[in-house]
Structure 1
Amino acid sequence: MAETYLADLKTDRSVDDPEFDTKDMQEKISKLGKVLSHDATKLTLACKSPRKPADGIKMITEISNTFFRLVGFYNTIPKQAGKTYKEAFRAAVRDTLLGQIALCNSFSDEPKKEFMVPTAVLWETCKMMETQMPVDNRAAVLKQWKTMQETLADAKSEVHDVADGDAGGFDDDEDEEMSPEQIAVAKQCAQLVDLVVFIYVKIERRCIKEADCLLCDQLADAGRVLGDETDVLVSQLYDSDAETIRAKYIKEYVDKALALIQAAQKVSLPEEHAKWFEMCSKKLQEIATKKD
């Protein structure tokens, strides 16, 4: 049952419903998360000895019905609700299905596995479904944005460590000192990441809350791409020579940052904020072309 539903989630149904109520969907999924949590508890009790197999079968049937409703509601989410919103619900349903599979396997495998761990994992996923599902696409993007900013903060800390010469394990040799050229390019990357961190903060405060559903998704997409590129840029400080980083990775990084700014500039903003993004575009290119 669960594996069939997992396969079903991979099918992207193009649903069209201009009247779709995102808040109502949030409430329905929240209630089903609570029901599923209780079902999981009942299943663990029904499958423990000396209960009869019929007790376990009854609870599996009830859980199957709950998942049928979960997947059914998910499949009614239309494109108008927003890509990020729909993905948040898809991930939640997927995680509960995976948790249910793990729980069932703990009872079916020989020798018997410890069932309390997968039960606790499923409870935690259900709790998240109860309390943390987004009310609309903007809320889904803001939640994802917070995660991106946490990742950026880690990258910023790391790139500054390298730029300050504290690059333990640099070139796989803790005793090898960085060359002046390597330090210079690391400082250049640190400046870029610093500016990108400010851009993410500005977009969170000024753009996402003003953007429509489509623009929210465009910001989320561009933000994810730039976040991934940040990890690539910082990792190359350990693996590539300075000229390669400047010619390839810094150029690619700035291109992704400019793409995010272009998405932000589609939002209707007061003149002072629009000018701030224009200034950032120029500053990114200035840093990228600078050679110490």
Structure 2
Amino acid sequence: MGAAPGRQVEVRHIMGTAVSIHALTAPGADVDARPAMEACFAELREADRVFSPYREDSDISRIRRGELTIEQAAPDVAEVAAACSQWEESTQGRFSARWRGGFDPTGYVKGWAVERAAVRHLAPLVLQPGVIAAGINAGGDIQLFTADDSDWVWHVGIADPGRPGEVVATVDVRNGAVATSGSAERGRHIIDPRTGEPVDHVVSATVVGDGLAAADVWATAAAVAGFDDLSWLAGADTRMGILLDGAGRVRRWTGATPVSVQPASVGVPA
């Protein structure tokens, strides 16, 4: 067995959650990933400054107070607004940035910002000699990269809400994103924008995809749709996904094909 790779890790609290960045290097490699990590953190802080609904001085707060229009705001705001409109159409209203009487893209921004920052600053890391892989985890939403000449695989555990500290499945990812939504971690915080009512029939919805922005939207849409409704799946570009409901059932799909429904206690193969 070869020597374990080196691991450089930095953690910051940004966008209301813990954000950790990991860089794996070949044994003995003289690589400093910290500049790329700090650049990634800086970009996320700027996204928080512009988009946070909890900051009185953010562009989003000013828009919601009528002090600023989307066109007058930072250019990223118009980009996000356009993307949210497209996602509302794609999810048939299961996702929306306008359900609370104003523009609030909170449900989209974190995944979008993390993916964008990771692609800009972490993806180039794995092109450097001696770097095996790099990834970012923002409150359980993950974007991962692996060097083409490496056999490294990220093993991502999907938490079992009914058994704290346990996982219901492990997903292997080389390059891609994993997003989880639902009521297990934060309670009934997901709202069905079509009704304005909180949803709790799915305690955890995990989606694996190419990019975190899309994976995060589809995880939210899956939670809103509910455990028994996969009618949205045919129009979604996901690699795989897992739903867990409050009764302990697990539903799994691969691509656009439902695979199985089973009790959570049985577990789900990776």
Q: Report the structure, 1 or 2, having the larger strand content.
A: 2
Same fold (TM over 0.5): no
Q: Report the structure, 1 or 2, having the larger helix content.
A: 1
Normalising by structure 1, report the TM-score: 0.26
Normalising by structure 2, report the TM-score: 0.28
Larger Rg: 1
Structure number with greater CO (CA < 8 Å, separation at least 6) is 1
